[in-house]
Amino acid sequence: MDEDLTALVVSEAKDHMTKAVDHTQSEFGAVRTGRATPALVEHLKVEYYGTETELRQMAGFSVPEARLLVISPYDKGALAAIEKALQGSDLGITPSNDGSVIRLTFPVPTEQRRKELVKVVKQKAEEGRVTVRNIRRSARQDLEGMQKDGELSTDELDRIEKDLDKMTQEHVAAIDKLLAHKEQELLEI
């Protein structure tokens, strides 16, 4: 039973670390690179018949060109509400409405703006790394508690902690790889 408990602690830690990496990746997706991508607006809340609704539930998206995002509402009556939500968002882009679709044209970011975005992405990556390390610390505390209760020997604890450290390094490396890719994407013109 003790082995089952330690395996559960390690398994939960791995799941949480994987979720932290996935969350960091989704945070990166929300950082605007100058390229059009639905990830920038799909979670935007739109006031629709008195209810806050995510834009992705109300419209389809297409990217006909690298810097153009076309939003096609399923209900043409929602065009005005979608346009209002886009104008009120922090995108800094004025939507163009032709009566059936909304077009968002993304400008090329300046070099200074790209450098600011790299700083933002690095901060998000560091938050992801800290989360992964906190998960490791929490798992270690659980395991050390098991050792104090006599459910785990010192040798077993050392072995499992080495596995946890290796797992942590792998997840931090995954975040670093995502960061390098996003940095390269941000800095290219």
pLDDT tens string 77-132 = 888 888 888 888 777 778 888 888 999 887 777 888 788 888 889 999 999 999 99
Which domains can be identified in the chain, with CATH numbers?
A: 2-30+110-187 (1.10.132.20), 38-105 (3.30.1360.40)
Predicted local distance difference test score (pLDDT) of residue 1: 47
Confidence bin at 23 (pLDDT 50/70/90): very high
Residues 37-72 pLDDT 10s = 787 787 888 888 888 888 888 899 988 888 888 999
What's the pLDDT at 166? Answer: 95
| pTM for this prediction | 0.68
pLDDT at 162: 93
* Beta-strand pair 59-65/68-73: antiparallel
- Residue 157: pLDDT above 70? yes
